[in-house]
Amino acid sequence: MTDPSPGPKGLYVHLPFCASRCAYCTFVVSTERRLVGAYVEAIHRELELLDLPEGTPLETVYLGGGTPSLIGGGELAGLLRAILERHPGVPGIEVTTEANPEDLTPELLGLWTAAGINRISIGVQSFVDGELTAIGRRHDAARARAACHLLARVPSVTWNLDLILGIPGQTPESLEVSLAGALEAAPHHISVYILEMDKPHRLQELYRRHPDEFPGDDTVAGLYLRVHEVLGKAGYEHYEISNFALPGAEARHNLRYWDRRPVHALGVGAHGNDGNRRWANLESLAGYLEAIRGGERPLAWETTLSPREMLAEGLMLGLRLAAGVDRGSADAGGASFPEFGRMLEGFLQRDLAVEDAGRIFLTPEGWLLSNELFATLV
Ligand SMILES: C[S@@+](CC[C@H](N)C(=O)[O-])C[C@H]1O[C@@H](n2cnc3c(N)ncnc32)[C@H](O)[C@@H]1O
Ligand code: SF4
């Protein structure tokens, strides 16, 4: 191992199965649900192949997807047990799972909480039925509300709901409906993603033919700023470009990525980082299963970042956070990436970034333009 960081680690587990593929999704997903059993078995075997000495403690575990709620509750509990037997959790470990609203039942929640899951993230996306249909979701707004009510009744669980901005047909008025739905549900944490259109998916195809069905960039920017305003007034801190939390309810696993603390990874397409090493598993389910059958780590690639790459990554991840980066790092960035230095000074002059107490952070208006800034870090 090169430069392993000391201390407890995070662990991401990718569970790729979905009942169908949503129109906007570019995650590593499979609808071949007959393979669930073989896959869970493979994850158990990959656990023993991890580049992580047995007994290394875990601070967070994140069961992501795909749709982890499609894996039987007993199987998921068994997997978590096996993970924590090999890598004990630190006291207060955060164990998150993602879930789709249509899958949540009191029975499943009972199995999950008994297994130690204490954080649940549900993909609501919108509280407007027409928008949910437009993006190919299997739930409607009533089902989303019912899932939220179930979650709100489980005191041991901190929970998040996801919303998406930029959906076909979305307007400032319909956003108010989704925001009211989210605030009424009162989760501890809300993630709000702007629809990503740069990778091929069905909505990208629709956009090519009918761009008029989508809210334009200026409208989406207005929606994002409105979310910041409404959630802020309701007590949710906008602590990361896409994430809002009540005090103390920040996603500890995700903070590990933004702070670049080690996260190891199990499952098809899963990415890991430790120190200056970065790696990813194979994205093909067949290839992943075959590697595991052969007793090999299912790696697609592995790399060690240079000091220059580490600097760029640190600036990019740090500026996603409301806490921003220190002036010294920004200056080092400007020395290595002059275009970045110039653009960041421009951001400061235009109030797209603020300097305070030796730190520089982006404003919500700055976050909207951050892709341009980050593109200079190459
Ligand atoms: C990988 S999904 C897994 C969660 C779960 N399967 C679900 O969909 O409810 C995690 C979240 O990523 C977001 N997401 C997926 N594709 C996206 C895209 N193209 N643009 C923006 N957000 C996206 C959605 O909000 C989704 O809830
Ligand atoms: S958004 Fe969630 S449910 Fe939809 S295809 Fe992607 S991972 Fe599956």
Q: For residue 292, is it within any domain?
A: no
* Percentage of residues of the chain with pLDDT beyond 90: 93
Of 96, 142, 93, the C-alpha closest to 122 is 96
Q: For residue 232, is it within any domain?
A: yes
pLDDT(4) > 80: no
* Mean of pLDDT values over 248-259: 98
Q: For residue 205, is it within any domain?
A: yes
The pLDDT tens digits for 125-151 are: 999 999 999 999 999 999 999 999 999
CB atoms within 10 A of CB 371: 9
Q: Which atom of ligand 1 is nearest to the CA of 164?
A: 25
pLDDT(3) > 60: no
pLDDT(191) > 70: yes
pLDDT(38) > 80: yes
Q: Calculate ∠ Cα 341-342-347, nearest 5°.
A: 95
With cut-offs at 50, 70 and 90, classify the pLDDT of residue 198.
Answer: confident
Task: Verify that 235 and 318 share a domain, yes or no.
Answer: no
Among protein residues, the one whose CA lies closest to atom 4 of ligand 2: 22
* Mean of pLDDT values over 224-246: 98
pLDDT at 201: 84
Asked if 253 contacts 62 with a C-beta cutoff of 8 angstroms, the reply is yes
The residue range of the domain holding 191 is 9-258
Q: For residue 297, is it within any domain?
A: no
β-partners of residue 303 are 278
**Integer Cα distance of 46 and 193 in angstroms:** 31
With cut-offs at 50, 70 and 90, classify the pLDDT of residue 229.
Answer: very high
Q: How is residue 94 written in tokens?
A: 């955060």
Mean pLDDT of the chain: 96
Q: How is residue 23 written in tokens?
A: 């129109």
pLDDT at 165: 98
With cut-offs at 50, 70 and 90, classify the pLDDT of residue 356.
Answer: very high
For the chain, the domain total comes to 2
* Helix axes 106-115 and 141-152, enclosed angle (nearest 10): 40
Task: Verify that 321 and 246 share a domain, yes or no.
Answer: no
Q: How is residue 363 written in tokens?
A: 């404003």
96 lines ligand 1 (CB under 6 A): no
195 lines ligand 1 (CB under 6 A): yes
Backbone angles phi, psi at 22, to 5 degrees: -70, 155
Which amino acid is located at 365 in the chain? Answer: E
Asked if 195 contacts 165 with a C-beta cutoff of 8 angstroms, the reply is yes
Task: Verify that 165 and 226 share a domain, yes or no.
Answer: yes
* Mean of pLDDT values over 266-277: 97
Q: For residue 42, is it within any domain?
A: yes
Q: For residue 294, is it within any domain?
A: no
Task: Verify that 191 and 64 share a domain, yes or no.
Answer: yes
Q: For residue 139, is it within any domain?
A: yes
Task: Verify that 213 and 337 share a domain, yes or no.
Answer: no
Residues 6+ apart with CB under 8 A from 91: none
- Which of these ranges, 103-112, 199-208, 257-266, 304-313, has the smallest mean pLDDT? 199-208
Torsion, Cα 355 356 358 362, to 10 degrees, reads -40
65 lines ligand 2 (CB under 6 A): yes
pLDDT at 197: 85
Task: Verify that 226 and 363 share a domain, yes or no.
Answer: no
Q: Which of left, alpha, beta for 145 (phi over 0: left; psi -120 to 50: alpha)?
A: alpha
Asked if 125 contacts 132 with a C-beta cutoff of 8 angstroms, the reply is yes
Task: Verify that 223 and 366 share a domain, yes or no.
Answer: no
Among protein residues, the one whose CA lies closest to atom 14 of ligand 1: 25
The pLDDT tens digits for 304-325 are: 999 999 999 999 999 999 999 9
* Mean of pLDDT values over 20-40: 94
* Mean of pLDDT values over 52-74: 95
Residues 6+ apart with CB under 8 A from 357: none
**Integer Cα distance of 368 and 374 in angstroms:** 12
15 lines ligand 2 (CB under 6 A): no
Q: Determine the distance separating the centroid of ligand 1 and the alpha carbon of 123, expressed in angstroms.
A: 7
β-partners of residue 163 are 125, 192
Residue 239's domain is classified under what CATH number? 3.80.30.20
170 lines ligand 2 (CB under 6 A): no
Among protein residues, the one whose CA lies closest to atom 5 of ligand 2: 21
69 lines ligand 1 (CB under 6 A): no
pLDDT(252) > 50: yes
pLDDT at 2: 44
Q: Determine the distance separating the centroid of ligand 2 and the alpha carbon of 163, expressed in angstroms.
A: 13
DSSP line for 285-309: HHHHHHHHHTT---EEEEEE--HHH
Q: In what order do the strands lie in the sheet with 237-240?
A: 237-240, 243-245, 189-194, 158-165, 119-125, 89-99, 58-65, 9-15, 263-266, 271-274, 277-281, 299-304
Asked if 257 contacts 251 with a C-beta cutoff of 8 angstroms, the reply is no
Among protein residues, the one whose CA lies closest to atom 6 of ligand 2: 25
Task: Verify that 242 and 370 share a domain, yes or no.
Answer: no
Among protein residues, the one whose CA lies closest to atom 3 of ligand 1: 65
Pairing type for strands 299-304 and 325-326 reads: unpaired
Task: Verify that 194 and 53 share a domain, yes or no.
Answer: yes
End of a domain among 235, 258, 281? 258
- What does the radius of gyration of the chain's CA atoms come to, in whole angstroms? 21
With cut-offs at 50, 70 and 90, classify the pLDDT of residue 295.
Answer: very high
pLDDT at 176: 98
Q: How is residue 187 written in tokens?
A: 């989760």
pLDDT at 1: 44
pLDDT at 339: 98
End of a domain among 229, 258, 287? 258
β-partners of residue 97 are 63, 120
Pairing type for strands 9-15 and 58-65 reads: parallel
101 lines ligand 2 (CB under 6 A): no
Q: How far apart are the first and last CA of the chain?
A: 26
- Please report, for residues 181, 316, 331, 338, the alpha-carbon distance to residue 342 in angstroms, rounded to integers and kept in the order given: 42, 15, 10, 6
End of a domain among 258, 283, 298? 258
Pairing type for strands 119-125 and 158-165 reads: parallel
pTM above 0.95, yes or no: yes
Q: For residue 278, is it within any domain?
A: no
